[in-house]
Amino acid sequence: MPSEPEAGDKTDQPAVNGKKEDTLRSVCAELHGRVSAFLAEEPLDDRLRRVQEQTRTSMGVISEALDRYTFVALTRIHCT
């Protein structure tokens, strides 16, 4: 008799962009690494420095929203 998948197994994770091997958790981890690497780079020019600053500002807004609101409340926000 087949065993039930354990919590955290890829088999119980939703597919992302139609690919079962890419779980939401793995995609978030990859993006976090890429953004962190981008922010750790020494900016080569003023434009890149400004993009890094804006990225840090945006991440702060997201962090504050995650601290301030419940997940359910955030999923019900509608952009018009």
Report how far residue 7's alpha carbon sits from residue 4's, in angstroms, rounded to the nearest whole number: 9
Provide the token pair at 15.
């597919």
For 18-41, the pLDDT digits (tens) are: 666 688 889 999 999 999 999 999
pLDDT-based confidence at residue 43 (cuts at 50, 70, 90)? very high
Distance separating alpha carbons of residues 63 and 56, to the nearest angstrom:
10
Per-residue pLDDT band for 3 (boundaries 50, 70, 90) equals: very low
DSSP 8-class letter at 10:
G
Supply the pLDDT for residue 1.
43
